[in-house]
């Protein structure tokens, strides 16, 4: 008669639930520590870096004030900042070694900048912004092609209009 007794030497429901709870708690702690210690490695582009680069707020009621640029370096900086915004909006996850260009026309169409004019004669400039991910760090460059000026390193292959 005693041959068919239940085996009382195994795990019970309470022990199993307690073990699962301990494992889940360990996973949560590990995830928090990994995010804290390696968060910049896990998000190399810095999408949540709190950068001050953002899309301009163009309300129709606001009077549009075009800044007066005195140097070509200021024009290049404007294209560079717009390229950063464009990258964050459309290319948040790029591959290491990938090189992406965006023309001034594309930046204008996205309403990130206004037309870029030569500071000497007022003619329209063309150009592009270029960004590349190398070893987890994005580098940005801006290139202009105006009647009276061309950025060193400008390559017309990237300036497709």
In a domain, 160, yes or no: no
Is the model's pLDDT at 47 over the cut of 50? no
Q: In total, how many domains does the chain have?
A: 2
In a domain, 22, yes or no: yes
- Same domain as 122, residue 76: yes
Q: Which residues contact 105 (CB under 8 A, 6 or more apart)?
A: 126, 161
Is the model's pLDDT at 74 over the cut of 70? yes
Q: Could you tell me the residue range of the domain that residue 132 belongs to?
A: 72-145
Output the pLDDT for position 36.
73
Output the pLDDT for position 56.
53
Model confidence at 50, pLDDT cuts 50, 70, 90, reads: very low
Query: What count of other Cβ atoms lies within 10 Å of the Cβ of residue 131?
Result: 22
Q: What is the mean pLDDT of residues 33-38?
A: 73
Sheet with 126-134, strands from edge to edge, namely: 99-103, 126-134, 137-145
CA dihedral 49, 71, 159, 48 (to 10 degrees): 0
In a domain, 137, yes or no: yes
Rounded Cα distance between 161 and 150, Å, is 16
User: Is 16 strand, coil or helix?
Assistant: helix
Output the pLDDT for position 34.
79
Rounded Cα distance between 10 and 138, Å, is 56
- Same domain as 94, residue 33: no
Quick: pLDDT tens for 90-143: 888 888 888 889 999 999 999 999 888 888 888 899 999 999 988 888 899 999
Please give the helix or strand (H or E) that residue 138 lies within, else none: strand 137-145
For 13-22, 27-36, 97-106, which range has the lowest pLDDT when averaged over its residues? Answer: 27-36
- Same domain as 123, residue 85: yes
In a domain, 86, yes or no: yes
Is the model's pLDDT at 49 over the cut of 90? no
In a domain, 150, yes or no: no
In a domain, 36, yes or no: yes
Output the pLDDT for position 39.
58
In a domain, 157, yes or no: no
């Amino acid at each position: 008669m005693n041959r068919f007794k239940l085996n009382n030497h195994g795990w019970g429901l309470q022990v199993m639930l307690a073990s699962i709870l301990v494992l889940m708690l360990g996973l949560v702690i590990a995830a928090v520590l990994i995010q804290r210690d390696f968060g910049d490695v896990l998000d190399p582009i810095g999408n949540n870096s709190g950068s001050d680069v953002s899309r301009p707020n163009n309300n129709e009621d606001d009077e549009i004030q075009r800044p007066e640029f005195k140097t070509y370096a200021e024009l290049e900086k404007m294209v560079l900042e717009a390229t950063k915004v464009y990258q964050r909006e459309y290319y948040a996850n790029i591959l290491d070694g990938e090189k992406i260009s965006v023309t001034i026309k594309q930046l204008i169409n996205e309403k990130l900048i206004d037309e870029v004019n030569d500071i000497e004669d007022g003619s329209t400039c063309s150009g592009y912004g270029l960004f590349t991910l190398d070893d987890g760090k994005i580098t940005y460059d801006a290139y202009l092609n105006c009647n009276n000026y061309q950025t060193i390193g400008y390559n017309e292959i990237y300036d497709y209009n």
